[in-house]
Amino acid sequence: MTITKESVILDTDPGIDDALAMFYLLMNPKVKLTAVTLTHGNTNIDHVKRNAETVLHVMRKQREYLKQEVPVEELPVLAIGSATPLKANNLFATYFHGVDGMGDIYSKNSYWEDLAREGKPAYQTTERDAADEILHQLKHADPLSISILAVGPLTNIALAYQRDPVTFGRAKRVVIMGGAVDAPGNVTPMAEFNFRADPDAADIVMNTSKGFKHSPEGYNARLELIEQGKQAPMHVVVLPLSSEGAISKEEYQEKIVPVKTPVGELCNAFLVWTFEVCSKLYNIETLCPYDAYTALLLVDMISDKGDGKNESSDFDQNWESRYLDLHVETKGEYTLGMSCYDNRGWDLDTPAWGDEQASNHVQVIVRGNGPRFARIFLDSVFAVSVQ
Ligand SMILES: [Ca+2]
């Protein structure tokens, strides 16, 4: 059986759960990770860059350990992106990820920083910034063949759209970890961190979904628009906050702590911090690596060619979604970054935000399968290498 492999650009702010998502994607046989584009977010862009480099070098070490060789031209491009949100002030999550964004691993052990100095390639470099790299890759690939997975604030994605909306529309879909829909926020009562960290960018990206139809007709209409050099509506998928996708302390101790591979060593170095913080801040003994959970969502969507028809039932069996006219609050004093939609029902006489033609059409995931995620994630990133 041939495996359907999809090109994926990961936009990310590592970040602990970002690092876990990176490892999951780098090891996944269905994914060809063509770029890792970096944004401010969990910590500042300099720390984010160092962390991404560390993850990619640890992945190089993992390949050496497993005696796998990947030619340099097949390694992902690493592109540095925006240091600040479009309009808002920077918001960091160092209380959760540590000042360095990785649970203060560098101050405890210089090994992690020294890895990048070994002089061996772990990624491809570019002079382009993140938004330009995204556009460059979309322009030079078949239309609707590259997916974007965005697991940080959406600044780079919004910039790519603003710089060239026609080329941006060539992306097959953009799958986003973000927003709190029908649930409280995490960084404020109303808002989830990634949407709150750049609400203007998040709203711009939601707006790219206007006119999207997830059907064979919708797919063909997108292709036609692209062929005519026109802007095509974007398939925007949002995985909002939920309590699903958790890894328990027991699973961590059983499946991760004993793992002595390069990937296991790094994850253990930062997860010690994470479980302490979860216990101290939230009085919970579980970790919800939302970014990795969203990476699984993308992998489950790969069998969909973009026309709403899944060849495998992984998505249909494990995820439930609704299409919402979703917007993001950009001006609120108490509600900045809030996910807003009309939950009074669709059959009202007046459209929710005044103009029915202007409705967004965002696919929002309302249910997943947390235990399945924990099993798949732990098996694919850690179990293969337990010695
Ligand atoms: Ca993230």
pLDDT of residue 134: 98
- 153 CA → ligand 1 middle, Å: 8
Of 14-28, 199-213, 284-298, 345-359, the one with minimum mean pLDDT is 345-359
Tell me the average pLDDT across 218-229: 98
- Mean pLDDT of the chain, nearest integer: 93
- 103 CA → ligand 1 middle, Å: 14
Residue 190, strand partner residues: none
**CB environment 144-153: b (16+ within 10 A), e (fewer):** bebbbbbbbb
Of 57-71, 190-204, 208-222, 336-350, the one with minimum mean pLDDT is 336-350
Of 148-157, 256-265, 278-287, the one with minimum mean pLDDT is 278-287
- 23 CA → ligand 1 middle, Å: 13
- 291 CA → ligand 1 middle, Å: 6
Question: Residue 314 in contact with residue 200, Cβ under 8 Å?
Answer: no
Collect all residues with Cβ–Cβ distance below 8 Å to 61 and sequence separation of at least 6: 115, 262
pLDDT of residue 356: 61
- 356 CA → ligand 1 middle, Å: 33
pLDDT of residue 383: 81
Question: Residue 352 in contact with residue 341, Cβ under 8 Å?
Answer: yes
- 107 CA → ligand 1 middle, Å: 22
pLDDT tens-digit map of 160-180 = 999 999 999 999 999 999 999
- Residues flanking ion ligand 1, Cβ below 5 Å: 13, 15, 18, 151-152, 291
pLDDT of residue 380 exceeding 50, the answer is: yes
- For residue 77, the SS3 value is strand
**In this structure, what token pair is assigned to residue 227?**
């062929």
pLDDT tens-digit map of 83-132 = 999 999 999 998 888 899 999 999 999 999 999 899 899 999 999 999 99
- 381 CA → ligand 1 middle, Å: 18
3-state DSSP percent of the chain in helix, strand and coil, to 5: 40, 15, 45
pLDDT of residue 209: 97
Nearest to 265 by CA among 122, 387, 361: 387
- 237 CA → ligand 1 middle, Å: 16
Q: Is 212 buried (19+), middle (13-18) or exposed (0-12) by CB count in 10 A?
A: buried
- 147 CA → ligand 1 middle, Å: 17
Q: Is 318 buried (19+), middle (13-18) or exposed (0-12) by CB count in 10 A?
A: middle
E strand or H helix at 196, and its extent? Answer: helix 193-197
Tell me the average pLDDT across 209-231: 97
**In this structure, what token pair is assigned to residue 24?**
């999951």
pLDDT of residue 214 exceeding 90, the answer is: yes
pLDDT tens-digit map of 332-377 = 999 999 999 988 865 656 777 776 667 899 999 999 999 999 999 9
- Name the pLDDT band for 386 (thresholds 50, 70, 90): very low
- For residue 315, the SS3 value is helix
- For residue 366, the SS3 value is strand
Residue 124, strand partner residues: 77
Question: Residue 207 in contact with residue 360, Cβ under 8 Å?
Answer: yes
- 347 CA → ligand 1 middle, Å: 36
Question: Residue 110 in contact with residue 100, Cβ under 8 Å?
Answer: no
CA dihedral 278, 382, 48, 85 (to 10 degrees): -70
Tell me the average pLDDT across 294-316: 93
pLDDT of residue 2 exceeding 80, the answer is: no
Query: Above pLDDT 70, what percent of the chain?
Result: 96
